[in-house]
Amino acid sequence: MREQREALKTYFENGDRPTQTQFAQLIDSYVHLNELNFGLKLRSSGTLKAKFYHFYDANEPFSAEAHKTIEAPAGSKAEVIPGYTHLFSRIIQYKELVCEIEGAVDLVKHQPKIIIERYKQKKKLASGYIKPAGFYKELTFDAALWNRKSEYDVTSREMTLDLGPVHYFKPGASFRDFRPSGSIRRSGSFKYSRHGKSYVPIQMKLQITIDNTNYTSHPIDLKIVMGSGEETDAINFAFD
């Protein structure tokens, strides 16, 4: 049982004879080095998943919801959505992400979570403040709006995450025109390898809780890399 610092001090005042229980409370009330030696190990899954999607673009270029990516039964007909143009529909193949927990992490005691931070370009806010480019964790509501998640509860020391990677991209007129969701289009930006595949930079961290304080591991940099356009070329991950 962890105790507050001031309460611990009262056990060791002049003339006191601390009990075994009080010494145990002192030891348990500090974060130990082995508890902070933790992290994530990531790799692409060895198998593919495939889902069918309808892709839409907003008719107003500065719409708050500039695009829609809707999962649907394979071969289904795209619905007409007011204010949006249906671009195309197709099966998307993609890899999942295998996450392995490293270090002395107790799944019950430390309540670990995997945190995802998405790269965002420099942006001028309505207040006039210029938000610098960098990696930011999306608010839960904002992530859910785009069918993404910004954190995952850890339920086992090795788990496979389905990030729904296509939802990290804004669709274009063709598969090769996809670009990172929320990005500003600049010629040649966010292109991976000589094949010119679009990619989304993200960081992933492991977060644990000790004595109501959150600690995070060093981030792992990776890219979600779009396929080249062929249905057999799956969305995959590249690790920096």
Q: What is the pLDDT of residues 108-158, one digit of tens each?
A: 989 999 999 999 888 888 888 888 889 999 999 999 999 999 999 999 999
Which residue has better confidence, 43 or 30?
A: 43
Q: What is the pLDDT of residues 45-85, one digit of tens each?
A: 999 999 999 999 999 877 788 899 999 999 999 999 999 99
Q: Quick one: pLDDT at residue 33? A: 47
Q: What is the pLDDT of residue 5?
A: 64
Q: How far apart are CA 41 and CA 33, in angstroms?
A: 20
Mean pLDDT of 24-51: 76
> Could you tell me whether strands 151-153 and 169-170 are parallel, antiparallel, or unpaired per DSSP bridges?
unpaired
Cα end-to-end span (Å), the chain: 41
Residues with Cβ within 8 Å of 231's Cβ and at least 6 positions away in sequence, in order, are 90, 91, 93
CA distance 156 to 101: 8
Q: Specify the higher pLDDT residue, 190 or 217.
A: 217
pLDDT at 23 over 50: yes
User: pLDDT higher for 188 or 216?
Assistant: 216
Q: Where does residue 171 rank: exposed (0-12), middle (13-18), buried (19+ CB within 10 A)? A: buried
Mean pLDDT of the chain: 85
Q: How confident is the model at residue 2 (pLDDT cuts 50, 70, 90)?
A: very low
The arithmetic mean of pLDDT across residues 198-215, rounded, is 91
* 37: pLDDT strictly greater than 60: yes
